Amino acid sequence: MKNYVSASVLSANMLNLGSEILKLEKNGIDMLHFDVMDGIFVNNITFGLPILEQVRKATDITLDVHLMINNPAKYIKRFAEAGADIISFHIESESNAIETINAIKDFGIRPAIAIKPSTSANAVFDLLPYLDMVLVMTVEPGFGGQSFIPNMVDKIRTIRSKITELGLDVNVEVDGGINGETSAFVRNAGANVLVSGSFLFNANDMAAAANALKDEKLC
């Protein structure tokens, strides 16, 4: 399965977001990851629809939207219209999972389910046939720059094994503390979409950093 890198906009220079996006495109980044927080589901507030709309006008890069909000079903239509390509929402949210997945699909968007570190892997098993991706949080959601939680590797491995057992084509995404070292742990466990922020945006050579995450050599 192909590996992808999704750059977390939380770590971008927001005053120069246009140039930051151009840099991502030039350096082989596959996706731009939007962490949308409502201050209720998690103890932080970030950005929302206006930023996503402006970014969509500026780039064709895949927009990987992660809704850390209490009632994601209420906002699927608006995020789809704003330009999301992938929408992930939390299984721990108040919205019905199947209804929310179907709403995402109705807009031609790829659905993903996200799980917090405290949520067990088997919580997503029944949903796997309906998903494009599972997002495993490898830190507590809410703030960037946290350290990777090592015991999340077993959860990733368990989910990937279940996907394989069911014969499905489902991506496993990881978000939280992903860098050149931790990327190897999660890839070996079965993750193939790696979200990274400061490791990418602070790198002297972003292309080399991205290829380190994907375990690929620069040509």
Active site residues: 35, 175
Packing angle, helices 206-214 and 17-26, rounded to 10: 60
Q: Please, are residues 194 and 215 in contact by the beta-carbon 8 Å criterion? A: no
What is the spatial distance between Cα 154 and Cα 15, in angstroms, rounded to a whole number? 38
CB-based contacts of 25-28 (< 8 A; 24+ apart in sequence): 25/59, 25/61, 26/207, 27/206, 27/207, 27/210, 28/207, 28/210, 28/211
> If you search the block for the tokens 């927001």, which residue do you land on?
14
Count the neighbouring beta carbons within 10 Å of the beta carbon of residue 116.
Answer: 18
Which pair of tokens denotes residue 122? 């088997």
Q: Look at strands 110-115 and 86-90 and give their pairing.
A: parallel
For residue 167, what are the β-bridge partners? none
